[in-house]
Structure 1
Amino acid sequence: MAMRSFGWPRSLHGETLFKVLLATVIAVPLVVFVLYPLIHILGRSFQTPEGLGLANYAAVLGTERFLRLVYNSFAVTLTTTVVTVVLAYVFAYAVQRTCLPLKNLLRLIALVPLFAPSLVQAQGLVLLLGRNGLVNRTLGTDFSIYGFWGIVIASILYVFPYAFLIFSAALATADNRLYESSRILGANRLRTFLTVTLPSSRFALIAASFVVFTLVITDFGNPMVVGGDYSVLATEVYNQVIGQANFELGTVIGMVLLLPVALAVAGEKWVHQREYAQISAGSLPLQLRPDRLRDTVFTVYALLICAVILMVVGVVIFASFTHLWPYHMGFSLRHYAFDVQNGIQPLWNSVYIGLMAAGIGVAATGLAAYVIEKFATLVRAPLSFLCIVPAAVPGMVLGLGYVLAFNKPDTPLSFLYGSLLLIALCNVYYYHAQGFLIASTSMKQISSSFDEASATLGASLLRTMGKITLPLMWPTLVGIAVFFFMRSMVTLSAVIFLITPSTQVAAVSVLMLEDRGAVNQAAAFSVCIMAVVIIALLMARIILNVLGFRHVTLIR
C-alpha cells in the first residue's frame, strides 16, 4: 500500500528487482571464479612452515636464478614485440593500403596460427630446424633452433595474427582528403606516410605492442618446446608446481608475472580511452591508386610472410602423415589411430569443454554487456571493472588459483575439481574480458531509441530483450561463441594445472607427446585440433548465412 501511495507502478519494482538480479548473476561468478582464486594465490605466496611471512619472496626474488629468469623473459618479450609490431604493421599496410592481389587469401593465411595451439609454431620450427629437422638432414648441417632465438621466432609466429588484426582495423579506413592535400603540397610517399598514415595509427601501434607483450610474457608452450636451457618466468611456474610440487614458490613467481601483465593491460586501456575517431561526417573514402613498384614490393613481402606461416604449419601437417619422422618419410595414417594413453579422448574432451565454454561465455559476457550498457545503476562502474579484470591475469596464474581454491574438500564448490566443467569455466573467465569487450562494443551500436519505443508501447524489460536486443545481437553472439570455442580448443597455459588423466585435453596432449619425443603423434593431435576449429568456423558461417548475416565477419 505504501508503494501505491507514491504512484509507483508494480511493474517498475519488478523490473528494478530484475535488474538487481541480473547484476548479481554477473558479479557473483566473477568474484568466485576470478577474485577468489587470486586471493588464494596471494595467500599461498605468503604461507611458510612458520606461518605467514615474506620468506617465500625472499627465497625467490633475491636469487641469481630469478634475476636471470626476469632478464630472459623481458629479453624474449621485448624482442618479439618490436619485431612482431614491425612485421605485422607492414603486412597490414600491404593488405589495406596497396593494390595487393588475392587480399582475402593472404589475410586468411595470416590468421592460420589462431586456429592451432600456441606451440604448433614451436613444433614446426623443431621439425624444420631442429637437430633432426629437414634443414639439418638435407644439408648435413648441425644448426640448432633451441634457445633464445627459437623462442623469439616461435613467439612471433604465434602473436603475429593478433597484431595484424589490430593494425588491419586501424588501416582499413582513412580520410582521402588528407592524402590528396599531401599530394597537392608535393609530399612524396615516404613523407606522406610519416606525417599522415603513421600518426593516425599510433594508438593501434601502442595497443598492439601491449597485446603482444602480454601474450608473449605469459606463454609457456613455445618456450617449453624450443627453449632448451633458456628458461623464462612462465616455464619456471610450471616447473615449480608440476616438477617439484612447490606451490609456494610457484605462486610467488606467478604473482611476479601478474605485475607486468597488469601494467600492460592498464596501459592498453589508457590508450584505448584516449583514442579518437579518424573518420568524420565529411570524410571521403580513401582511393587506392595502383603503383607497379610499390604493389610489387608489398606483394613479394606479403607472399614471404605467408610462405613462412604455411611452411611452419604445413610441416606439422606433413609430419602427421609420415611413417616415422624423420627416418621413414613414407605416407602413413597410423598416427591418427591415436594408440597413445587415453587415445583420442583428449580431443573429444576439448570439444566438450569448447561447447560448454561457448554456451557459458555467450551468456556471461552477453548479459554483462547488456547490464552495463543498458542499465544506469550505481554498480555499473565497479561491475565494468570486474568484467575486464581477467585480462590482467595470466592463464597459468588463474589456473593455479583454481587448483588452490577448488581442490579442498571443505570448499562448497570442491565437486567441480577434476571435472570438464571447471576447465570450461576457467577458459570462460580467462577470456572473459575479450568476450565482454566484443559484446559491449556491439551493444553500444544499438540505439537506446529501440528500448524507449518498446517501453512506450508497454513492453516489459524481458520482452524488450527477447524481441529487440537479442535479434540485433545474433551475429555478435555467434562470433563470441566461436571465439570461446576456438580459445578453449587451443589454449594451454590456463588449463595445464587442471587436467587429470580423465580430463586430459588435446592441447596438453600435444605438449606431453612433444616432450617425450613422439613428434608424429603430437603433430596428428595438432592437425585434429586445427580441423575441429575450422569445422566450427564453417558451421558458424553457415548459421550466419541462414540467419541472413552473410557479410558479418567472424574473426575481427
Structure 2
Amino acid sequence: MWYKIRIFINTHLVNIFAGGLFVLLAIFLVFPLVMVFLKSFWGDDGFTTTFYQEFFTYNYYYWSFLNTMILGLSTMFILVVVGFCFAYMTTRGPMWLRTPLKICALMPLCAPPYIFSISLITLFGRNGMINNFFGLDFNIYSWTGVIAAQALAFLPLSFMMIENVLNSQNPSLEESASDMGASEMQIIRSITIPLASPGILKAALLVFVMTIAEFGNPAILGGRIPFLAPDTYLMITGEGDFNMASVLSVVLMVPCLIIFVLHNYILKGKGYTTIVGKPTAVDPKEITPVIKTFLLAVITPVVIMVVLCFAVIFIGAFVKIVGVDNTFVWDHMLNMQSNEAIYNSVKLSLMAGLFGAIVGTLLAYVIMRGKFKGRHVMEMMALSGFALPGTVIGVGYIMAFNKPPFLLAGTIWILILNCAFRFLAVGVEAGISKLHQISIEIEEASADLGADFITVFIKVILPIMFSAFVAGFIYTFMTTMMSLSSVIFLVTPGFDLAAVYIYLTAQLGELGLASAATVKMIFIVLVCLASLKLLAKKTGLKSEKK
C-alpha cells in the first residue's frame, strides 16, 4: 500500500504542486482584485453603477484621473530619456566614470521613494537651504516637486532595464555601421535604440505603474493637486467609503493593464537577438565628444540632485532642523518608536522574503517542467502583482481578508502574504531563466539511476536553483522594507512599519525623525544584503567543494 502511494506521489507530485500553487495564486492575487471590482458595483441595495456615475460626473475625480495620467506619462518620458543616458554612459562611456555613475543611478534603491520629498522640502521648502542661500522663492509644493521626486525615486528601475539590454547588444553591429560611415547619432537612432526597445518598453511600463501607485511623494508635495492614489487612501482612512475607493482602484488599474497589453503587442513576433555563438568585439567604440557632452548635460544635474538628497537625509538625522538649527543631536537616532518600527519591518521583510522565494522557486519549476494545461495562465497570474499598482492590491486585501473564512486582517500574516505575492514575479522569472539553462536530461539521468522525484528535486534541482531563490528573497526583502503603497492600508495601531512611520512623520513636518529613521533603514538594508551575499557565496563555495 505504502509503495503504491509513493509511486503515485512520485508520478504526480509536479501536478500536486501545481494545484496547490494555483489555489494560492487564486486566493492571494486574483481574489483581492475580484473583490475590488465587485465592490465598485455593489452598494447597500445590491448591484449599482451609481459609484461610477459619481466618478464621471464629479469634476474633482476627473482632475484626479487626469493629473495621475500626466504624472505617470511625464515621469515615464523623463526616466526613459535619463535612464538611457545613464545606461549608455555606463556601458559605452569612459571606464573611470562607469562605476560612479552606476552607483549613483542605483542609490535610490536603498531608500523609500518618498525620502526625496523630505530632501526636496529641506532644500527647496519655504525655509529650504538652497532657497535661503540664493534668495529664491521657489515653491516645491507643486507639479515640479512631485515629478522631480518621482523621477529621482524610480531612476534605478529605468536604468537597470535599459542597461541590461545595452549590455547584451553585440558591439560589432555598431562597429560595422561606423566602418560604413554612419555617425554615432545615426547608429544610436537606427541600431542601438531599436535593439534596446524591449528594455526601454519594460522600463516605461514599470516606471508608469510605480509612479501612479506611489502616493507618498504626491501626498507630501502635491499640495492641493489631486491624484488617484492619495485620494484612494483618504477615501478609506478619512471617509471609510470602500465603494468609491474600489472605483478609484479600478480606474487606477485600467491604464496599467492597457500599457501592459500594448507592451506585449509591440514586442510580439519581433526579434531582438544580437548575441550569437560567434566572437565579437571586446568593447563598443569610444563615445564622440558631442554625444558625450549631451549625455553629461543630462546626467550631471540628476547626479547632483541624488547626492544632495542623500546628503541632506544623513545630515538631517543628526541635527535639530537641518539648514535652520544645525545643532548636533542624538535624539532623532535614539527615538524608540522608529527603532521598533524598523524592527517590525525587518521581521516582516525576512518572513515575506523567505515565503515569497519558496513559492517563486516552486512556481518556476512547475511552469517549466509541468506538462499540464494552464501553465501560461499561472505565469500571468504570478506576474499580475508586478503589473498592478500596490494601492489596488492593498485595497483588495482589506476587502478580501477581513471576515471568515479568510480572516487575516489585524495579523502580521496579511502583511506577509501581501508583500510575498505582490513581489512574486522576480523570483518566478529568475527561476524560469535558470531552468532555461538547465537541461532536463540531468533530471532524467538521476531518475534512470533510481532516484525518485523528491530526491531529484532536493539534491539536484534545488542546489542548481539556489541563485534564483536568493534573487527572489533579496528583491522581496528590499521591496518589503521600502514598500508603502499597499502596506499602509493593512497596518494596525501598535504595529508600526518603518515605511509608514517615515511617511507619517514627514507629513507632520518631523523631518529630523523621518531622516533618522531613513538612515537607520538604509544601514540595516545594506547590512542584511551584505550578510545574504556572504551567505550565498559561502554556500556556493561549499557546494563547489563537494
Alignment TM-score > 0.5, same fold = yes
Distance apart, 1:300 and its partner CA: 6.8
Q: Which residue does 1:30 correspond to in 2?
A: 25
Q: Answer yes or no: is 1:157 the counterpart of 2:152.
A: yes
Letter paired with 1:145:
I
When the two structures are superposed, what TM-score results if normalisation uses the length of structure 1?
0.92
Q: Which residue does 2:283 correspond to in 1?
A: 287
Q: Answer yes or no: is 1:19 the counterpart of 2:14.
A: yes
Q: Which residue does 1:173 correspond to in 2?
A: 168
Measure the CA separation in 2 of the matches of 1:549 and 1:46: 57
Distance apart, 1:325 and its partner CA: 3.6
Measure the CA separation in 2 of the matches of 1:402 and 1:388: 17
Question: What secondary structure is seen at the aligned counterpart in 2 of 1:131?
Answer: coil
**Is the Cα–Cα contact under 8 Å of residues 175 and 286 in structure 1 kept in the other structure?**
no
**Is the Cα–Cα contact under 8 Å of residues 258 and 392 in structure 1 kept in the other structure?**
no
Q: Which residue does 2:262 correspond to in 1?
A: 267
Q: Which residue does 1:553 correspond to in 2?
A: none
Residues 229-257 of structure 1: CA deviation (Å, up to 9, x unaligned) = 11111111011111211111111111111
Measure the CA separation in 1 of the matches of 2:207 and 2:381: 23
**Is the Cα–Cα contact under 8 Å of residues 233 and 253 in structure 1 kept in the other structure?**
yes
Letter paired with 2:397:
Y
Measure the CA separation in 1 of the matches of 2:27 and 2:386: 16
Measure the CA separation in 2 of the matches of 1:272 and 1:446: 26
Letter paired with 2:275:
I
Letter paired with 2:406:
L
Letter paired with 2:184:
R
Q: Which residue does 2:134 correspond to in 1?
A: 139
Residues 361-419 of structure 1: CA deviation (Å, up to 9, x unaligned) = 011111000111111112323322322222333211111111112222xx1231x2212
Q: Which residue does 1:202 correspond to in 2?
A: 197
Map 1:535-554 → 2, pairs under 5 A: 535-548=527-540
Q: Which residue does 1:448 correspond to in 2?
A: 440
**Is the Cα–Cα contact under 8 Å of residues 323 and 329 in structure 1 kept in the other structure?**
yes
Aligned partner (choices 250, 272, 278) of residue 276 of structure 1: 272
Q: Which residue does 2:236 correspond to in 1?
A: 241
Deviates more, 1:298-307 or 1:416-425: 298-307
Distance apart, 1:153 and its partner CA: 0.6
Aligned partner (choices 460, 477, 484) of residue 492 of structure 1: 484
Map 1:58-207 → 2, pairs under 5 A: 58-207=53-202
When the two structures are superposed, what TM-score results if normalisation uses the length of structure 2?
0.94
Map 1:231-380 → 2, pairs under 5 A: 231-271=226-266, 273-274=268-269, 275-290=271-286, 293=289, 297=293, 298=295, 302-338=299-335, 342-380=337-375
**Is the Cα–Cα contact under 8 Å of residues 173 and 285 in structure 1 kept in the other structure?**
no
Deviates more, 1:9-18 or 1:276-285: 9-18
Distance apart, 1:109 and its partner CA: 2.1
Question: What secondary structure is seen at the aligned counterpart in 2 of 1:463?
Answer: helix
Measure the CA separation in 1 of the matches of 2:490 and 2:50: 27
Could you say if the C-alpha distance between residues 549 and 292 of structure 1 is closer, same or farther in structure 2, counting changes exceeding 3 Å? farther
Aligned partner (choices 417, 422, 440) of residue 425 of structure 1: 417
Question: What secondary structure is seen at the aligned counterpart in 2 of 1:330?
Answer: strand
Residues 18-48 of structure 1: CA deviation (Å, up to 9, x unaligned) = 2232112211111111122222222221222
Measure the CA separation in 1 of the matches of 2:273 and 2:112: 35
Could you say if the C-alpha distance between residues 437 and 152 of structure 1 is closer, same or farther in structure 2, counting changes exceeding 3 Å? same
Measure the CA separation in 2 of the matches of 1:345 and 1:436: 32
**Is the Cα–Cα contact under 8 Å of residues 214 and 264 in structure 1 kept in the other structure?**
no
Q: Answer yes or no: is 1:509 the counterpart of 2:501.
A: yes
Alignment RMSD, CA only? 2.2
**Is the Cα–Cα contact under 8 Å of residues 80 and 152 in structure 1 kept in the other structure?**
yes
**Is the Cα–Cα contact under 8 Å of residues 174 and 284 in structure 2 kept in the other structure?**
no
Could you say if the C-alpha distance between residues 272 and 503 of structure 1 is closer, same or farther in structure 2, counting changes exceeding 3 Å? farther
Question: What secondary structure is seen at the aligned counterpart in 1 of 2:96?
Answer: coil
Q: Which runs of 5+ in 1 are unaligned?
A: 551-556
Measure the CA separation in 1 of the matches of 2:188 and 2:279: 19
Deviates more, 1:77-86 or 1:539-548: 539-548
**Is the Cα–Cα contact under 8 Å of residues 97 and 171 in structure 1 kept in the other structure?**
no
Measure the CA separation in 2 of the matches of 1:457 and 1:285: 44
Q: Which residue does 2:512 correspond to in 1?
A: 520
Distance apart, 1:500 and its partner CA: 1.0
Distance apart, 1:175 and its partner CA: 2.4
Map 1:373-412 → 2, pairs under 5 A: 373-408=368-403, 411-412=404-405
Measure the CA separation in 2 of the matches of 1:40 and 1:296: 51
Measure the CA separation in 1 of the matches of 2:541 and 2:132: 50
Distance apart, 1:506 and its partner CA: 0.5
Q: Answer yes or no: is 1:464 the counterpart of 2:456.
A: yes
Aligned partner (choices 408, 413, 421) of residue 406 of structure 2: 413
Measure the CA separation in 2 of the matches of 1:459 and 1:285: 45
Q: Which residue does 2:217 correspond to in 1?
A: 222
Measure the CA separation in 2 of the matches of 1:549 and 1:487: 28
Measure the CA separation in 2 of the matches of 1:546 and 1:447: 26
Distance apart, 1:286 and its partner CA: 4.7
Question: What secondary structure is seen at the aligned counterpart in 1 of 2:120?
Answer: helix
Residues 288-314 of structure 1: CA deviation (Å, up to 9, x unaligned) = 344673696356755543232111122
Question: What secondary structure is seen at the aligned counterpart in 1 of 2:344?
Answer: helix
Question: What secondary structure is seen at the aligned counterpart in 1 of 2:488?
Answer: coil
Measure the CA separation in 2 of the matches of 1:290 and 1:260: 40
Could you say if the C-alpha distance between residues 176 and 523 of structure 1 is closer, same or farther in structure 2, counting changes exceeding 3 Å? closer
**Is the Cα–Cα contact under 8 Å of residues 207 and 271 in structure 1 kept in the other structure?**
no
Measure the CA separation in 2 of the matches of 1:467 and 1:501: 45
**Is the Cα–Cα contact under 8 Å of residues 489 and 507 in structure 1 kept in the other structure?**
yes
Letter paired with 1:239:
L
**Is the Cα–Cα contact under 8 Å of residues 354 and 486 in structure 1 kept in the other structure?**
yes
Q: Answer yes or no: is 1:438 the counterpart of 2:426.
A: no
Measure the CA separation in 2 of the matches of 1:549 and 1:80: 43
Residues 164-215 of structure 1: CA deviation (Å, up to 9, x unaligned) = 0011111113323323322222222222222221221122222211121111
Measure the CA separation in 1 of the matches of 2:253 and 2:286: 47
- Dislocated runs of 4+, deviation >6 Å: none
Could you say if the C-alpha distance between residues 273 and 536 of structure 1 is closer, same or farther in structure 2, counting changes exceeding 3 Å? farther
Residues 491-520 of structure 1: CA deviation (Å, up to 9, x unaligned) = 000101101112220100011101111111
Map 1:36-51 → 2, pairs under 5 A: 36-51=31-46
Measure the CA separation in 2 of the matches of 1:285 and 1:454: 40
**Is the Cα–Cα contact under 8 Å of residues 492 and 508 in structure 1 kept in the other structure?**
yes
Q: Which runs of 5+ in 2 are unaligned?
A: none
Deviates more, 1:305-314 or 1:480-489: 305-314
Measure the CA separation in 2 of the matches of 1:147 and 1:179: 43
